């Protein structure tokens, strides 16, 4: 186990955000973007797209977030391309959040944890997105393995899709919202961690005052807050301040289209990423 893996993800993420700004560049090689870049909608096109993004931003931003589905849709060769992205991030010293949103029970969740969080797995980046909606305790295999290997988790909490509130805003018999219960469980896992714990939440940057209405105390989580939706999807400084308030320094702002639409050439991609990073720092720091 290497030194970087022994150190907790939360600690490494704070250092990366301090050094490069609080930006995570999403790597989303969907068909429309591939076409815009003049690349084929196949595994070779996905590989070229993703590695070009890594060439542009590797070593220059806090993190990258490859969306696993866009790789998996091309079968084994697409998954191999995802493995190359993970390796490229490691080589560049850039944290990799694998956006796979895994969630299951028992041995199946354990198998997902082995795939995305175990030392030696080619799919294991620095953190993994997970879904708690089979019960937060169903994530225990991932929590335990992430802790053992120094990796992190981002647990879905308050998402920006219109269907999310029917589950996330629902209240238990004692009046606690599901989102608040998820946040409380994450906070418990981060108790005493400094400068920040390694179990974070996914909170959409465009959800407005949803956290307040759902009684979610984001600052109390003491963990990172992955915020998709920055830039082209509508969230700027005012939106970030409204959503996160006093928890802004915990936020890792995620921008996909706002950076990727600057492609296909490396230099414009790099310029767009650095601009987005500076804007995120101005809004959050």
Active site residues: 101
CB neighbours (10 Å) of residue 32? 11
The answer for residues whose C-beta is within 8 angstroms of residue 268's C-beta and 6 or more apart is: 262
Contact 128, 142 (CB under 8 A): yes
DSSP three-state, residue 253: strand
Neighbours of 75 (CB within 10 A): 11
d(CA 132, CA 185): 10
Residues recorded for the chain: 285
Token couple for 149 = 């290997």
Distance of CA 100 to the CA centre of its chain: 9
- Cα angle value 235/240/244 (rounded, 5°): 140
The whole-angstrom separation of Cα 68 and Cα 7 is 25
Task: Report H helices in the chain.
Answer: 3-6, 9-20, 31-36, 43-57, 68-72, 75-92, 106-117, 140-149, 165-168, 178-189, 210-213, 237-244, 257-260, 266-284
The Cα–Cα gap between 108 and 131 comes to 14
Question: What residues are paired with 25 via a beta bridge?
Answer: 64, 255
Strands (DSSP E) found in 178-224 = 199-203
């Amino acid at each position: 186990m290497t030194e970087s893996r022994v150190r907790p993800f939360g600690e490494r993420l704070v250092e990366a955000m301090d050094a490069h700004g609080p930006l995570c560049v999403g790597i989303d090689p969907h068909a429309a973007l591939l076409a815009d870049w003049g690349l084929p909608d196949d595994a070779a096109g996905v590989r070229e797209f993703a590695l070009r993004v890594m060439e542009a931003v590797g070593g220059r931003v806090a993190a990258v977030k490859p969306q696993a589905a866009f790789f998996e849709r091309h079968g084994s060769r697409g998954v191999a391309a995802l493995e190359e992205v993970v390796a490229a991030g490691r080589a560049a010293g850039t944290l990799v959040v694998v956006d796979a949103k895994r969630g299951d029970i028992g041995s199946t969740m354990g198998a997902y944890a082995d795939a995305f969080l175990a030392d030696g797995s080619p799919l294991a980046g620095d953190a993994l997105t997970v879904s708690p909606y089979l019960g937060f305790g169903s994530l225990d295999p991932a929590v335990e393995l992430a802790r053992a290997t120094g990796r992190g988790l981002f647990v879905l909490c308050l998402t920006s899709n219109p269907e999310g509130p029917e589950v996330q805003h629902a209240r238990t018999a004692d009046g606690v919202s599901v989102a608040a219960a998820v946040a409380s469980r994450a906070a418990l896992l981060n108790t005493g961690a400094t400068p920040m714990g390694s179990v974070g939440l996914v909170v959409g940057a465009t959800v407005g005052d949803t956290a307040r209405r759902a009684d979610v105390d984001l600052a109390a989580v003491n963990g990172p807050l992955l915020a998709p939706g920055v830039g082209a999807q509508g969230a700027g400084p005012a939106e970030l301040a409204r959503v996160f308030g006093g928890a802004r320094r915990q936020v890792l702002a995620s921008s996909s289209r706002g950076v990727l639409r600057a492609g296909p050439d490396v230099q414009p991609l790099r310029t767009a990423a650095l601009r987005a990073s500076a804007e995120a720092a101005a809004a959050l720091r």
